[in-house]
Chain A
Amino acid sequence: MRVLTDQGPVEMDLGFLAEVKAKCLQPIERCYQCQKCTSGCYLSEYFDYMPNQMVRLVQFGLREQALRSVTIWLCSACQTCTVRCPNGINIPEVMDALKEMAVAARLPVPDNAVFHRLFVDDIRRRGRVNETLLLARYKVKTHRLLTDLKEGVTMLRRGKLPLMFSHVKQRGEVRRIFRRLDAAKRRDAR
């Protein structure tokens, strides 16, 4: 079956809805497009697809459009739509599932994804995040090393950028969480 989109008729991916649902456990099929989510969204003006349209893309199995949209990366998960949804759908959690799927499908991802990845790497390494190190790493990775230097110096002088590398003592415990999760994912993939 095909759906008529702005780009012409597109084949529906009938397994897509179930895949997204399995990941986020949200009742996506309940959405009847009242658009309350979109009308209250603070960031929708920057989106390519509105929040209600994102839900529609999933309902209709439009995998490519959903996984390549900038919306999933720009949603700040402020949860305003969740509070107002008459059908109890947590749309940011749907967006999170789509982000995970976009990364898994090795689609091009924006700088946000780089930031989140570095943040998690820091936790894996030391159990805690060092803001100085995280921001420096992010700036190197995204070729912005020379931006905000003046601000950085001021923050350092005021003691607002940590120079000590505080870490969890039982780092093994934190790493075990990551290890077990990785193992579970490998099991699922098989």
Chain B
Amino acid sequence: MMEIAYYPGCTSEGTGKEYAQSAVSVCTALGIDLTEVEDWNCCGGMSAYKVDSILGLALPARNLARAQKAGMDVLVACAACYNRLRWAEYTLRRGRKKAGMIEELVGFTFDKKITVVSLLEVLSRRVDQHELETRVKRPLTGLRVACYYGCLLVRPPRVTRFDDPENPMILDNLMTRLGAEVRPWSYKTECCGAVHSVTNPRLAEALVTRLLQMAREAGAEALVTACPLCQTNLEMGRPGRAGGPPCFYFTELMGLAFELPDTLSWLGKHWIEPVSLLRRLSLVG
């Protein structure tokens, strides 16, 4: 049993609901004991640091203060929240001028005993991979996927300390373990447009269109992601709200492979209907 603090983030109550639900279910199935960060607050998203750089560090730091009190590392599923919490931790660990400003604003001293980890990292590095493989009841045979990491997990590497920023493999390897056919492609870490999908939809559509086209050229029938913002953009940000390949959260595919009972309810929340593809491949009954 692994005990860890869990930071859900605001999208867990909205656009990323199925990601949060599947993340918690997969962790439970693998014996990871999640304790929600008590009274967590918004990490500031992709907005607070653009309004004020110190605010964009102090907001996530308050959550670190709470986790420190509980004495537990913080697991984050959302790539955006992960990035912001890591920025706060990185800044506090460096202990320069900004660190003092953040600590003063939040009213705590960071003792450097806890750290922020991404869900993908925990499931790939802290969980016994042999045991994970034995959990696979329904291998994802025949499912050709392109793994899309986006920006926030990998960059900048000194802050996110995640994987190779140009060609990350964590998600690819995890999907291979589930039995999926992972297609190599070179657009893994390109930008999906982030919040431009709201403020400059035409611009975000151009980026999304290119990503989908490249995934298709690579021979993928679906994309896999670890970020609610990327997932929403990749499915809803297509010109004219067009159809095409679905975009899964990696935890949903883990749920499918582990035959977790709620998998279909998560998939039912998608903008692009993914079940017919899975039915064609006989991956759902």
Which residues of A are at the interface with B, using a C-beta cutoff of 8 A?
Answer: 23-25, 42-43, 46, 74, 76-80, 82-83, 90, 93, 96-97, 99-100, 103, 110-112, 115-117, 119-120, 122-123, 127-132, 135, 138, 151, 154-155, 158-162, 164, 166, 168-170, 173-174, 176-178, 180-181, 184
**B residues in contact with A110, CB < 8 Å:** 199
- B53 is an interface residue with CB less than 8 A from chain A: yes
Query: Restricting to B154-182, which residues have a CB under 8 Å from any CB of A?
Result: 155-157, 165-166
Q: Is the beta-carbon distance between B46 and A123 smaller than 8 angstroms?
A: no
Size band of the interface chain B makes with A:
35 or more
Residue of A nearest to B150 (CB): A78
- B105 is an interface residue with CB less than 8 A from chain A: yes
Query: Restricting to B1-25, which residues have a CB under 8 Å from any CB of A?
Result: 10-11, 13-15, 17
Q: Say yes or no: A100-B45 contact (C-beta < 8 A), given A83-B156, A138-B198, A180-B105.
A: no
A82: contacting residue among B59, B98, B107, B156, CB under 8 A: B156
CB distance from A173 to the nearest CB of B (A): 7
- B50 is an interface residue with CB less than 8 A from chain A: yes
25 contacts between A and B (CB under 8 A): A42-B190, A42-B207, A76-B151, A76-B193, A83-B166, A96-B49, A96-B50, A111-B199, A111-B200, A117-B51, A120-B48, A123-B42, A128-B41, A131-B11, A131-B14, A151-B241, A154-B271, A160-B15, A161-B15, A168-B39, A169-B39, A173-B62, A177-B106, A178-B55, A181-B55
- B58 is an interface residue with CB less than 8 A from chain A: yes
Q: Is the beta-carbon distance between B41 and A82 smaller than 8 angstroms?
A: no
**B residues in contact with A151, CB < 8 Å:** 236, 241
- B69 is an interface residue with CB less than 8 A from chain A: no
B191: contacting residue among A43, A82, A122, A168, CB under 8 A: A43
Residue of B nearest to A127 (CB): B41
Q: Is the beta-carbon distance between B156 and A79 smaller than 8 angstroms?
A: yes
Q: Is the beta-carbon distance between A93 and B53 smaller than 8 angstroms?
A: yes
Q: Is the beta-carbon distance between A100 and B51 smaller than 8 angstroms?
A: yes
Q: How far apart sit A47 and B200, CA to CA, in the bound complex (Å)?
A: 13
CB distance from A23 to the nearest CB of B (A): 7
**B residues in contact with A138, CB < 8 Å:** 198
Add 11 more A-B contacts to A23-B53, A46-B203, A76-B191 (CB < 8 A): A42-B190, A79-B156, A83-B165, A93-B53, A112-B199, A119-B45, A128-B41, A128-B42, A154-B271, A160-B17, A168-B41
Q: How far apart sit A97 and B51, CA to CA, in the bound complex (Å)?
A: 9
CB distance from B24 to the nearest CB of A (A): 16
Q: How far apart sit A154 and B268, CA to CA, in the bound complex (Å)?
A: 12
- B52 is an interface residue with CB less than 8 A from chain A: yes
Q: Is the beta-carbon distance between A123 and B207 smaller than 8 angstroms?
A: no
Q: Is the beta-carbon distance between A170 and B157 smaller than 8 angstroms?
A: no
**A residues in contact with B106, CB < 8 Å:** 177
- B196 is an interface residue with CB less than 8 A from chain A: yes
**A residues in contact with B40, CB < 8 Å:** 168
- B137 is an interface residue with CB less than 8 A from chain A: no
Q: How far apart sit A168 and B59, CA to CA, in the bound complex (Å)?
A: 12
